[in-house]
Amino acid sequence: MQKQPKDEFYVNLGLAVRTLREDMPLIFIKDLNYDIYRDDITFKDPLNTFTGIEKYKLIFWALRFHGKILFREVALDVYRVWQPSENVILIRWNLRGIPRVPWEAKGEFQGTSRYKLDRNGKIYEHKVDNLAFNFPQNIKQVSVLDLVTACPASPNPTFLWGPIDAYSSSSWIAFYKAVRETLDQEGSTLLQEGLATCS
């Protein structure tokens, strides 16, 4: 008996939710299960857009690689997984870590991942949004106006404590920049020679 299209959608949707619940907390330890994604998946964050499963794999390879280099401890906690509509999975998460610096430091980085599913229940878009940084208290206090103008409008709360220039020395921003540089250099000889792979 052949599966109906709606049955296939719900089977794949269930697999996607279960896989995301299992994969997300371990993104700094092991690679993801890419069976739930389409080959033409698009990844979006507030600054970038990448398309294709190979670039998507590279993003998570870069997170693991730079997470080990830049942090003594780094982990991602999943707070909530829910479906605001049939073809969308939303995950609220918190990234926390202790950077490799000679002074006492730790930080948190919260956000949401929105996954859109096609009619077959495969993920074709992953959007990271609503990023909130929790930095050490020595960052200068800012006004409510600074909070509003620091971020683009969003239907959900989005917080950046001060102008983006204030974060240039933060180890979290260094982490983001390191990941970004790895993605920009995806065709580098290091990757071409097979010394690092994202499979």
Tens-digit pLDDT profile for residues 185-199: 654 434 443 333 333
Return the domain boundaries, the chain: 5-185
CA dist 59 and 90 (Å) reads 19
Inter-residue contact 16 to 123 (CB < 8 Å) = yes
Residue bearing the bigger pLDDT, 71 or 4: 71
Q: Which residues contact 77 (CB under 8 A, 6 or more apart)?
A: 25, 93, 94, 96
Distance between CA 155 and CA 142 in Å, rounded? 22
At 146-172, the pLDDT tens digits run: 333 333 333 333 333 444 444 444 555
The CATH class of 5-185 is alpha beta
